[in-house]
Chain A
């Protein structure tokens, strides 16, 4: 069983869902993010949030995959102030909805003043609503941007064990781990992180606090990154329990703090969910061993 704790399923196909279910993925977390081009009004942002909480959640359920969301204003669109202000008004109402496991993904892109201001306001919102946080670390000026993100989280008094620092790499893992945060790695083919580098990281740092995700979106990404990385780690000599932690258990531990995600959701779903939102995972139903081709 795997969890992919960062997947933009709204831009993926049904083939992906089929392959993910077959490979043993039982749950995905879809963080609200940029959709490849800017939204120009708050109405389209509201529709996007209700889309990922609505149709996308239903679509995942048809393939036996449980779907959760992070709700937030992303860093790129934080630079459009009129839009950002209106979105901030919308966020509290969406963040308390069923299946929302965190505020995210939030953080820095260019590290502008506006990005900083909306990042801080959303950290306050997470505190107020008692929700975990998923932090997107910037692609450019990554090392300093990551340190700065953690400084700001601490400044606002959030416990690091409720915060995931995502898109980490060899340069940022040590600091994030030492400061007590969860450390996310997006196994994304042509940028971010690769599975073989991940093996070295798990060997060097151990499985505690580390979380593997695919970050699959509209780009050339691999929705099977989590199960593939698990296979590669196992072949590389990482023990079963450690593989399970980085591809399932750690993500469940941190996002489960929302009270909105527990293993019973896919192992023993509520009767009402079974009738309406969730078709059941064929792998779990059939009792077969999950496999990756």
Chain B
């Protein structure tokens, strides 16, 4: 059983250690005093005020963490990926963490209120912080609401470079997230656990989506085939062969990778038509990470 309070203290220390060398002594003094107010009275206005004022008090520069700092993150919170985090966003997460007083129900309710009354850059910061907060199971509804948005950066604050969906989403929520990413023009490769959480239901929904797009004369994302791969059914092989023969180079590579992952006699046979791609996949020269969105 993880200890929420010890973990939270370590995470607070981690974020503070990132911020301090990037702030002036005056800025650090403001941050410390506001953090103390939040910790003293988590349900007072100090929390919303601290979150609201963070950009104007501390600026919005990128954190730009060093390798050593990133390694420290990995020790404290495995799979945390602070790529693209800024100073104000980090401070906002810090305020949220500082409001935790051991009551996880109250914490989830408080975070829900902050998101409900937040402006768009607050949404992004609060949701990027999801993997850091205590009581993750109670926060799933907030994350699920976050991916209902049509605001791309808010959606990506939940879905991209975060271990939260992989660890906490149900299969239905996961599948909704992947499909929604394609619908709103986001990309799949920054989603953590994309391969590990593939499933038959998702593959079936994606194939239906492909047929719908093709009927409308619209292209589909090359990345989509990655989520079909091992769950390719016999009746889907024709679709993959169509991409393999009629697609552009990127699409051909994606179709070949999906076919290679599907362990059906039909898929192995289809791959024989593209011996060069098949060889590149066999000896590891072509992998999903080489396929562009």
Nearest chain A CB to B95 CB, angstrom units: 13
Q: Mark A257-292, 1 if CB is under 8 A from B, else 0.
A: 001100000000011110111000000000000000
* A residues 110-145 touching B (CB-CB < 8 Å): none
- Could you tell me if B118 and A277 are in contact, using CB atoms closer than 8 angstroms? no
Task: Classify chain B: how many residues form its interface, as a range.
Answer: 20 to 34
Nearest chain A CB to B158 CB, angstrom units: 13
- Could you tell me if B53 and A96 are in contact, using CB atoms closer than 8 angstroms? yes
A181 touches B (CB below 8 Å) = no
Given A53-B120, A54-B118, A92-B45: A260 in contact with B151 (beta carbons within 8 A):
no
- Could you tell me if A272 and B56 are in contact, using CB atoms closer than 8 angstroms? no
Nearest chain B CB to A49 CB, angstrom units: 8
A194 touches B (CB below 8 Å) = no
A35 touches B (CB below 8 Å) = no
Partner of A276, one of B45, B48, B52, B153: B153
B228 touches A (CB below 8 Å) = no
B86 touches A (CB below 8 Å) = yes
Q: Which secondary structure characterizes the binding site on chain A? A: helix
B122: A residues at CB distance < 8 A: 97-98
A58 touches B (CB below 8 Å) = yes
- Could you tell me if A50 and B119 are in contact, using CB atoms closer than 8 angstroms? yes
- Could you tell me if A93 and B48 are in contact, using CB atoms closer than 8 angstroms? yes
Query: In this complex, what residue of A is CB-closest to B116?
Result: A50
B116: A residues at CB distance < 8 A: 46, 50
Partner of B151, one of A54, A98, A273: A54
Query: In this complex, what residue of B is CB-closest to A54?
Result: B120
* B residues 78-121 touching A (CB-CB < 8 Å): 84, 86, 88-89, 116-121
A80 touches B (CB below 8 Å) = no
B121: A residues at CB distance < 8 A: 98, 276-277
A270: B residues at CB distance < 8 A: 60-61, 86
Task: Classify chain A: how many residues form its interface, as a range.
Answer: 20 to 34
Query: In this complex, what residue of B is CB-closest to A57?
Result: B120
Nearest chain A CB to B186 CB, angstrom units: 13
Q: Mark A40-78, 1 if CB is under 8 A from B, else 0.
A: 000000100010011101100000000000000000000
Q: A58-B120, A92-B45, A98-B122 provided; 12 other pairs, C-beta below 8 A?
A: A46-B116, A53-B119, A54-B120, A54-B123, A96-B49, A96-B52, A97-B52, A98-B55, A259-B56, A272-B60, A272-B61, A276-B121
Closest 9 CB pairs of A and B: A53-B119, A276-B153, A96-B52, A272-B86, A54-B120, A270-B60, A58-B151, A97-B52, A97-B119
Interface on A for B, CB 8 Å cutoff? 46, 50, 53-55, 57-58, 90, 92-94, 96-99, 259-260, 270-273, 275-277
Interface on B for A, CB 8 Å cutoff? 45, 48-49, 52-53, 55-56, 60-62, 84, 86, 88-89, 116-124, 151, 153-154
Subset of 11 A-B contacts with CB under 8 Å: A46-B116, A54-B119, A55-B151, A57-B120, A58-B154, A93-B52, A96-B52, A98-B56, A272-B60, A276-B153, A277-B120
